[in-house]
Structure 1
Amino acid sequence: MSALPEPLPDPGASVLSMGKEPGRAAADRMLGQELRALREARGLTLRQVAPVIRGSVSKISRLERGESPPKRRDVLDLARHYGANADDMWMIERLLELGRTSEWYEQFSDVTPDFLKRLIQMEGDAEEICVYENLVVPGILQTTAYARCMVEAAMPSAHPDEIARVVELRRQRQLRLMEGSLPRVTVLLEEGILYRRYGEHEVMREQLDHLLEACGVAKVNIRVLMMSRAYSATPPYPIMHLKFGDPEQSELAYVEHISSATYVTRPRALDDYRNALTKLRQAAESMDDSRALIEAAKGRFA
């Protein structure tokens, strides 16, 4: 079996990285960060660019800090002045759109980092999603009980109310995705996930039952990667690949870290992630064999 591309791209070379930042007006802050990064990349000062939007230094400063509502004309004039490329302009357009709408997940702003809000927005726009997971069941397929165990393990010092809100966010995220026009979803799971216990046996039985139910959904394709197979260079972290109907920006890859996430949009880097996922699909068991593996794992938690 052929090896996966190695190494995967250096995130700093071709991606946009989003750090964890709680609080209000997430889209406006992210938009301001985008504009500031573009300005600084051109070596321009606030005073030099203020005339572009017929404004003052303080107006530019407030815009970059996300402290004033952005005007579409101002934002686009600045982006063009900075020489933003097609990827940058697509991202700016989406952040402008997000800032104009009141999304359902804003009610969870206090427990949702900005990089995750951005992913949830894009999941709703995607026509196809492919997820590779090496440690846990991906969030879009987690049961409530399994999600609670995951959140408690990841946030050991959190107040029970905070944990409950994070779990509810995950539940709402899954419901919204499934109740809407469901995209085609391919989930590639390392076999060890089926045996790695979170919570009591009944939690795992319920989670594995949920995976088996998902196997019967027309647009959901769950494939298991067996631990005994001799394939090499698998990614050491989860990857999500999303395809959109927008011809200007048809896809992106998402790689989540402990307190941040990386969004890959540049073609060369996307090729590497796309090829990695293609190799994983080729290495994975068939849908029927994957279902049998999930059934077998469920028997271990009887």
Structure 2
Amino acid sequence: MPPTNSPTLRQRRLGAELRKLRERSGLTATGAAGLLGVNQARISMIETGRTPISADRLRSMARAYDCSDEQLIDVLASMTGRRTRGWWEDYREHLPAALVDLAELEHHASGLRVALAMHIPALLQTTDHARALFRAVVPIMRQYEIEHRLTHRMKRQAILHRKEPLPYAAIIHESALRMGFGGAEVRRGQLKHLLSMSELPHITVRVIPFDTEYYPSTGQSFDYVEGPVPQLDTVQLDTHHGGCGFLDAEAQLSKYRTVLDHMEACALGPAESRAFVQNLIRDI
């Protein structure tokens, strides 16, 4: 398979996981190349996601690295081969690569947990609310850029409405619910939509009110994307320049799982949260 100069997040993650397996086995890239009958450059290309590999080659590498986790090997094998062309690829020339990679990551996720302090979760936003957000971006976007971002965001929401919808849990601070993006009518419509979505069986919304004594977070928004196996979980961080930061080190994943658990513990329950949102709607 020919190499690629622009591997997707999924391809890079596959390569990174193979590097982790190699390093745990105590092998250098040179040593691994010798065992597998390839040159060191090919190992490096595989580990950076620039060279696709077959499922058979991956299993050979796993054996050489003494990996006995069959579940992990099966999941990694399912990630091999050429890049799958999903709908998100149509946006690769129009949006930052990280946003395209995020859509791919969400598509393959087994669950999502998100925490936000100043914004409604992207997958629970209305079209009007999202458009108001994009119009407030600095530097100002041109109209066609806003429309690209908007259609991309709305298509991402399809994972919550497919035949087997993605389990989704959102923790939202009261400050995000009170932000008036787009004016009163847009805010009212957004809160009604949030309320409606929270009633779906696969979606859980919890609110952290202002009077909560404990808030175990810096206020930065982040998504915890659950993979088919825990080793393939990913944390996505929003950044001020509009991109996405992705974390997958074991210590980082453990930290953000703990933060989410603590945030859930100090948030209102799902029923209380719905009542809280209903009261906000009445007050608009």
TM-score of the aligned structures, taking structure 2 as reference length: 0.74
Pick closer, same or farther for the CA change 1:113–1:100 going to 2, 3 Å.
closer
Identity %: 22
SS of the aligned residue for 2:182 comes to: coil
Q: 1:252 — aligned with what? A: 233
Q: Match for 1:108: what amino acid? A: Y
Distance 1:216 1:122, change over 3 A: closer
Secondary structure at the counterpart of residue 193 of structure 2: helix
Q: Greater shift after overlay, 31-40 or 112-121?
A: 31-40
Residues in 2 aligned to 1:274 and 1:58: alpha-carbon distance in whole angstroms: 36
Matched residues in 2 for 1:33 and 1:219: separation?
31
Deviations 1:24-44 (A, max 9, x none): 541445545665677789684
Structure 2 partner of 1:263? 247
CA contact (8 A) 1:124 1:177 kept: no
Quote the offset at 1:226 in angstroms.
0.6
CA contact (8 A) 1:33 1:64 kept: yes
Equivalent position of 1:12 in the other structure: none
Say whether the 8 Å CA contact 2:174–2:210 is kept in structure 1. Answer: yes
CA contact (8 A) 1:132 1:238 kept: yes
**CA distance in 2: counterparts of 1:68 and 1:269, whole angstroms:** 27
Give the AA of the match of 1:190: H
Assess, with a 3 A threshold, how the Cα gap between structure 1 residues 164 and 211 changes in structure 2: closer, same or farther: same
Match of 2:118 among 118, 135, 143: 135
Give the partner amino acid of 1:292: A
Cα 1:66/1:217, change in 2 over 3 Å = closer
Matched, 1:113 2:97: yes
Q: Distance in 2 between matches of 1:73 and 1:169?
A: 35
Residue 235 of structure 1 and its aligned partner are, at CA, apart by 4.4
Once the two structures are superposed, the pairs formed by residues 223-242 of structure 1 within 5 Å of their partners are 223-242=206-225
> For the Cα contact (< 8 Å) 1:188–1:281, is it kept in 2?
yes
Residue in 2 that maps onto 1:222: 205
Sort the Cα spacing of 1:115 and 1:57 in 2 relative to 1 into closer, same or farther, 3 A.
farther
Does the 8 A contact of 2:113 with 2:169 survive in 1? Answer: yes
Indicate whether 1:160 and 2:143 are aligned: yes
- The within-5 A match list for 1:204-215 is 204-215=187-198
Contact 2:36–2:64 (Cα < 8 Å) also in 1: no
Q: 1:260 to 1:184 in 2, by over 3 A?
A: closer
Which residue of structure 2 lines up, in the alignment, with residue 6 of structure 1?
A: none
Match of 2:184 among 201, 212, 224: 201
1:293–1:89 Cα change, 3 Å:
same
Distance 1:272 1:85 in 2: 26
Deviation at 1:142, TM superposition (A): 0.9
Are residues 154 and 84 of structure 1, via their aligned partners in 2, closer, same or farther at CA, if it must alter by over 3 Å?
farther
1:274 to 215, 237, 257: 257
Give the number of equivalent residue pairs: 273
The alignment's C-alpha RMSD in Å is 3.7
Matching of residues 62-81 of structure 1 within 5 Å:
62-63=45-46, 66-78=49-61, 81=64
- The alignment's TM-score, normalised by the length of structure 1, stands at 0.71
Provide closer, same or farther for how the CA distance between residues 119 and 80 of structure 1 changes in structure 2, counting only shifts above 3 A.
farther
Cα distance change on mapping 1:105 and 1:280 into 2, 3 Å? same
Q: Partner of 1:96 in structure 2? A: 80
Task: Supply the distance in 2 between the matched residues of 1:112 and 1:90 (Cα, whole angstroms).
Answer: 31
In structure 2, the CA distance between the partners of 1:130 and 1:152, relative to structure 1 (3 Å rule), is same
2:237 partner amino acid? E
**Deviation for aligned residue 1:182:** 1.8
Instruction: Name 1:182's counterpart in structure 2.
Output: 165
Relative distance call for 1:28 and 1:132 in structure 2 (3 A) is closer
Deviation, structure 1 residue 225: 0.8
Q: Secondary structure at the match of 1:194?
A: helix
Cα offset, 1:211, TM superposition:
0.7
Q: Residue 38 and residue 183 in structure 1: after superposition, are their counterparts in 2 closer, same or farther (change >3 A)?
A: closer
Q: Distance in 2 between matches of 1:265 and 1:253?
A: 9
* Offset from partner CA, 1:163-218 (integer Å, 9 cap, x none): 32221111011023322312332221100111112223322222112112113223
- Partner SS state of residue 96, structure 1: coil
- With over 3 angstroms needed to count, the CA separation of the structure-2 counterparts of 1:28 and 1:269, relative to structure 1, is closer
